[in-house]
Amino acid sequence: MGKPISAEELEIIVRAVASASHSLSDEIRRAGLLEHILGQEGNVNVQGEAQQKLDVVADRAFINAFLDCGIVCGIASEENDEFVAFDHEPSKDGDFVVLFDPLDGSSNIDVNVSIGTIFSVYRRVSPKGTAVTLLDMLQPGTEQVMAGYVLYGSSTMLVYSSGNGVNGFTLNPSTGEFCLSHPDMIMPENGRLYAMNEGNIQECEQGLVHYIQYCQSRDNQTGMPYSGRYIGSLVADFHRNLIKGGIYIYPAVPASPEGRLRLLYECNPLAFIAEQAGGLATTGRQRILEIVPTQLHQRVPYYVGSKLMVEKAMSFLG
Contact residues toward ligand AHG (CB under 6 A) are 49, 78, 101, 104-107, 197, 232-234, 260
> Considering beta carbons, is residue 199 or 318 the nearer one to Mn ion?
199
> Considering beta carbons, is residue 78 or 136 the nearer one to Mn ion?
78
Which of Mn ion, ligand AHG, none does residue 242 bind (CB under 5 to 8 Å by kind)?
Answer: none
Q: Output the smallest distance, CB 43 to Mn ion, in A.
A: 13
Q: Output the smallest distance, CB 114 to ligand AHG, in A.
A: 10
- What is the spatial distance between Cα 237 and Cα 259, in angstroms, rounded to a whole number? 17
Q: Output the smallest distance, CB 11 to Mn ion, in A.
A: 26
Which of Mn ion, ligand AHG, none does residue 197 bind (CB under 5 to 8 Å by kind)?
Answer: ligand AHG
Helices (H) and strands (E) in the chain, counts: 7, 15
Region label for 142, one of left (φ > 0), alpha (ψ between -120 and 50) or beta (otherwise): alpha
The DSSP code for 62 is H
- What is the spatial distance between Cα 76 and Cα 117, in angstroms, rounded to a whole number? 14
> Considering beta carbons, is residue 69 or 304 the nearer one to ligand AHG?
304
| Options 13-21, 77-85, 172-180, 298-306: segment touching Mn ion (CB under 5 A) | 77-85
Contact 252, 198 (CB under 8 A): no
Which of ligand AHG, Mn ion, none does residue 9 bind (CB under 5 to 8 Å by kind)?
Answer: none
Which one, of 114, 119, 186, lies nearest residue 155 by Cα?
114
Task: Return the residues of window 100-119 that contact Mn ion according to CB under 5 A.
Answer: 101, 103-104
Which one, of 228, 211, 190, 157, lies nearest residue 306 by Cα?
190
For residue 59, state whether it binds Mn ion (rule: CB under 5 A): no
Angle at 95 between CA 181 and CA 136, to 5 degrees: 100
> Considering beta carbons, is residue 49 or 93 the nearer one to ligand AHG?
49
**How many residues line the site for Mn ion (CB under 5 A)?**
4
Which of Mn ion, ligand AHG, none does residue 233 bind (CB under 5 to 8 Å by kind)?
Answer: ligand AHG
Q: Output the smallest distance, CB 236 to ligand AHG, in A.
A: 8
| Options 2-10, 44-52, 99-107, 289-297: segment touching Mn ion (CB under 5 A) | 99-107
Pairing assessment for the beta strands 72-77 and 96-104 based on DSSP bridges: parallel
> Considering beta carbons, is residue 124 or 239 the nearer one to ligand AHG?
239
- What is the spatial distance between Cα 139 and Cα 5, in angstroms, rounded to a whole number? 16
Which one, of 274, 243, 33, lies nearest residue 155 by Cα?
243
Contact 265, 100 (CB under 8 A): yes
- What is the spatial distance between Cα 182 and Cα 244, in angstroms, rounded to a whole number? 13
Which of Mn ion, ligand AHG, none does residue 136 bind (CB under 5 to 8 Å by kind)?
Answer: none
Q: Output the smallest distance, CB 11 to ligand AHG, in A.
A: 27
Contact 131, 35 (CB under 8 A): no
Which of ligand AHG, Mn ion, none does residue 94 bind (CB under 5 to 8 Å by kind)?
Answer: none
Q: Output the smallest distance, CB 42 to ligand AHG, in A.
A: 17
User: Using CB under 5 A as the criterion, which residues of the chain lie in contact with Mn ion when the complex forms?
Assistant: 78, 101, 103-104
